[in-house]
Copies of this chain bind each other. A is one copy, B any other.
Amino acid sequence: MNTYNEVIKYASPTSAGAECIDPDCSWVEHWVHRAGPRKEIYYEPEEVKAAIVTCGGLCPGLNDVIRQIVFTLETYGVKNIVGIPFGYRGFFEKGLKEMPLSRDVVENINLSGGSFLGVSRGGAKTSEIVDSIQARRIDMLFVIGGNGSHAGANAIHEECRKRKLKVSVVAVPKTIDNDILFMDKTFGFDTAVEEAQRAINSAYIEARSAYHGIGLVKLMGRSSGFIAMHASLSSGQIDVCLIPEVSFTLDGEHGVLRHLEHLLNTKGFCVVCVAEGAGQDLLQKSNATDASGNVILSDFGVHMQQKIKKHFKDIGVPADLKYIDPTYMVRACRANASDAILCTVLGQNAVHGAFAGFSGITSGVCNTHYVYLPITEVITTPKHVNPNSRMWHRCLTSTGQPDFH
């Protein structure tokens, strides 16, 4: 049986004591554990009170993960399962009550998008949250959230450890941008790429149907361009794809705008896809942050829209620009089949991890294997598109865009 000491040890990934679950698998680092059920479990299921909280913005699949955590907890025999409403805020905001969860309650929540529990940003007042966890006698806390919420989950884990509370804090990464380090794919990403096709195709139809039509689609991707890259590649309708990882100039001989002129002259229309975090060096800096602590980015999509309009007005060439920002319509979708399976496995593994006595971990898929990783490791920095990768080169081949320098 895992002991609580192991749990505590586990949170220090560098400690020598962490064992490798599958020693034959050479790719497994010492601080990576293969996910799944363990023979011995650390909690008495009948006595466990488990809580689930969803933090940050919406992402397809949230309800699938909640549903599967509840199903798996019930399979273990847990009777006392609650949802914390509206993110961490639900721990301390007056008037917000925890929601009893069971198979009956969550049976069909995966059929619609959003979060059945509600989400919110920020509110990571660690001490208050742990007070609340203590008062509520919660043994397992499942946090479904992004980078900031993972940092919050880890702080809760650390504080619980400091107070000698036997609480397992297990996270499931929720980032539609697919930008969590070490993870092959995060849930919601595949659905987002699929749903983005609808916006891209609309932009394509609008552009092709207009005289000198330009379609401009802004997709999600604060610091990484995975959605923009994959959506461009799969659509086959994009002429220019701009992502945060690859710098570019708008003006000048080799700038994007000149290329758009070229496309209008040759094809008669064009379609541009930009990640929201692209071209930040071209915008005025801001130091403001949102409630989750994310730096508020200047809106590159709107900037691009204005630049294109101004440019073609200045040079006296007609251009009929249509700007589409499908963000909320993409986020609010229900998970597609592929994400539904991913959510199922991640949710099951989160529960297995908690019962195995782990805390301060997150449940993911790494190099095709489902694993547990220490939260501290995955939040050091976002995962980025590698501009030298084959996938980015395939994207460039598909768009036919030059180097914008």
Contact = CB atoms under 8 A, between A and B. Distances in A.
Interface of A: 36, 58, 64, 67, 75, 85-87, 89, 93, 108, 110-115, 118-120, 190, 193-194, 196-199, 201-203, 205-206, 208-211, 230-231, 233-236, 320, 322, 324-326, 328-329, 331-333, 336-338, 340-341, 344-345, 348, 367-368, 370, 390, 394, 397-398
Contacts of A397: 75, 348
14 contacts: A86-B210, A114-B208, A118-B208, A120-B211, A190-B337, A194-B336, A197-B337, A202-B328, A203-B328, A233-B341, A236-B344, A329-B329, A344-B398, A348-B397
Contacts of A89: 211
B234 A337 contact: yes
Contacts of A203: 328, 332
A231 B340 CA distance: 10
B118 A194 contact: no
Nearest to A58: B209
B211 A329 contact: no
Contacts of A340: 233-236
Contacts of A194: 336-338
A145 to B, nearest CB: 13
State the copy count for this chain: 4
B209 A115 contact: yes
A211 to B, nearest CB: 4
A219 to B, nearest CB: 12
Contacts of A75: 397
Contacts of A210: 86, 118-120
B202 A234 contact: no
Contacts of A320: 120
Given A202-B332, A206-B331, 20 more contacts: A89-B211, A114-B206, A114-B209, A115-B209, A120-B320, A190-B337, A194-B336, A209-B332, A231-B337, A233-B340, A233-B341, A233-B344, A234-B338, A236-B344, A324-B329, A329-B329, A344-B398, A348-B397, A367-B368, A368-B368
